[in-house]
Structure 1
Amino acid sequence: MSALNHRLDGPGDAPVLVLGPSLGTTLDLWRPQLPALTASWRTLRFDLPGHDGSLPIHGSVADFADAVVDLLDALGVGRAAYAGVSLGGAIGTTLALRHPDRLTSLALCCTSARFGDAGPWHERAARVRAEGLEPLTDMFLGRWFTAGYAGPGVAAVRDMLQRIDPEGYAACCEALAGFDVRDRLGDVNVPTLVVAGAEDMATPLDHADVLAGGIPGAELVVVPGAHLAGLECPEPVTEALVRHLERTTA
């Protein structure tokens, strides 16, 4: 049994596409993209450790990536395309470095090779353990969406945050505190798309530039929106992802 809660959608005989969400969200983060993706791919969405139905993992992003491989093994999936947002993207980059034989392509959405200094992540982990996630919700929404955005994504994220275990969230913060693959990006050898939100405060455009500049042959696409661009402006994110997958899926 996998430690990661997951859901499969789309044709059973189609190529598999794994979809990883961001810290503080659930597999529902990818709901706007599903109609387009499930037309041609078997989508495998999973919840991050300690999020919704997934068990917490106290370890590194590498441990999270290994848990994804365990899930693929449990489902009998050999190779798959992968797309991830934020922490989900960091898991994807780590998969490409640790398990390159398992990926056919990679899409990194609103993510980074390093998410800043370790100190603030440890501080956030301690605060969440002490107070829970509710006191931080408005701060999250202010960083994840552009100023003035009041679309359905806000309510969706509020609902997702209520389904996150504070201890599991804190453990993910600690994993992010130790994540830094800037000096290893040149070893990523799968076709890679980098998608950046034009107004992303959590992972600004210079983070996307580092990824796209460091990964050989990577394509960079800048779309409207902020850290959860796939919710705020789903159409350009979906279009970029479908184009990438069509080019890289045999």
Structure 2
Amino acid sequence: MDLTIDGFRFNVRLDGPETAPVLMLSNSLSSNLSMWEPQMAAFTRRYRVLRYDQRGHGGTQISTKPFTIDRLADDAVAILDALGIAKAHFCGVSMGGMTGMSLVRRHAKRIDRAVLANTAAQMGPPDLWNQRIRAVRAGGLEAVVDATVERWLTAGFRSRSPESVAAIRGMILGTPPEGYAMCCAAIRDMDQRESIRSIENPVLVIIGAQDPATTPQAGAIVEAAIPGAKAVTLDGAHLTNFEQAEAFSQAVTDFLAAMP
């Protein structure tokens, strides 16, 4: 379905039992809501799953003005508002996890438990992001797709699962260059290392043991900063929800179902 948020059209999808608790899923940079397909069978057994495409990704419109990670979190709240959902669990990967950090520290009452997967509270240096912005504006996502796939998936998984590689390449290449560039700028300018210390919600941090993008060290910083946060390390690179789909799904559902 389409929802209008902050003057932009957002692509949103609901799956699973209508009376079940809501689990909101937020996608990574240069992907879309289909990135969650490996989890859908497990998640929809227990939850009403709310997926959406972040700004400039998938079926969601490209923003015409710069925005911040906080704005992405506000988008998530506005989607909940539009659907009449008072409170939800949350799970985000990479940029989705960055969105989740802002969401739980600034809109804590709207979120029950949060899973921040393969993510970081700050990602430098700025020149790295500026280079990517220039590259995609000049040559489209074709300019970064090969390097992105190599960061996202280990060599072993790429050789074993060509169908997953093809699906992921398709997501990346289907991302509008300007949507990618605008989100790169939001990530470039983000620093939540101190502000996440105020988070009080239950949080699980999922870390990829071989993640070269949001490294295990970056995940450990997030875990250490958030009071009471727990962490799970999975044997994979950046998209652990693909490389370790069953273990990822189990870690999320176990955490969400845990007693306070």
Verify: 1:133 aligned to 2:109, yes or no.
Answer: no
The correspondence of residues 68-147 of structure 1 with structure 2, limited to 5 A, is 68-147=76-155
Contact 2:145 2:173 in 1 (8 A): no
Aligned counterpart, 1:217: 228
* Cα 1:167/1:20, change in 2 over 3 Å: same
Q: Deviations over 1:41-93 (max 9, x none)?
A: 10001111111111123300111111111111111111110000000000000
The aligned counterpart of 2:28 is 22
Say yes or no: does 1:7 pair with 2:13.
Answer: yes
Check if 1:189 corresponds to 2:200.
yes
Gaps of 5+ in 2: none
1:248 shift after superposition: 5.6
Structure 2 SS opposite 1:149:
helix
CA distance in structure 2 between the aligned counterparts of 1:149 and 1:176, rounded to whole angstroms: 27
8 Å contact 2:135–2:143 — kept in the other structure?
no
> How many angstroms apart in 1 are the aligned matches of 2:111 and 2:258?
14
Match for residue 43 of structure 1? 49
Moved over 4 A (4+): none
Contact 1:10 1:39 in 2 (8 A): yes
SS of residue paired to 2:258: helix
Q: Is the 8 A contact 1:104 1:248 kept in 2?
A: no
Letter in 2 for 1:224: D
Could you say which residue in structure 1 is the equivalent of 2:240? 229
Stretch of structure 1 that moved more, 54-63 or 213-222: 54-63
Question: Matches of 2:224 and 2:91 in 1, distance apart?
Answer: 18
- Compute the displacement of 1:135 (Å): 2.2
Q: 1:247 aligns with which of 211, 236, 258?
A: 258
**Counterpart of 2:168?**
157
Counterpart contact for 1:4–1:67, Cα < 8 Å = no
Partner of 1:166: 177
Contact 1:143-1:202 within 8 A present in 2 as well: yes
Amino acid at match of 2:223: A
- TM-score when normalising by structure 1: 0.97
User: What CA distance in whole angstroms lies between the structure 2 residues aligned with 1:135 and 1:208?
Assistant: 28
Q: Could you say if the C-alpha distance between residues 56 and 248 of structure 1 is closer, same or farther in structure 2, counting changes exceeding 3 Å? A: farther
Q: Residues 86-139 of structure 1: CA distance to partner in whole angstroms, max 9, x if unpaired? A: 000000000011111110011000000111222211221121111100121111
Mark the runs of 5 or more structure 1 residues left unpaired by the alignment.
none
Structure 1 Cα separation of the partners of residues 143 and 122 of structure 2: 26
Residues in 2 aligned to 1:60 and 1:35: alpha-carbon distance in whole angstroms: 32
Q: Which amino acid aligns with 2:51?
A: R
Contact 2:135-2:144 at 8 Å conserved across structures: no
**Equivalent residues of 1:49, 1:64 under 8 A apart:** yes
Give, in whole Å, the separation in 2 of the partners of 1:73 and 1:102.
Answer: 10
Alignment partner of 2:217: what SS? helix
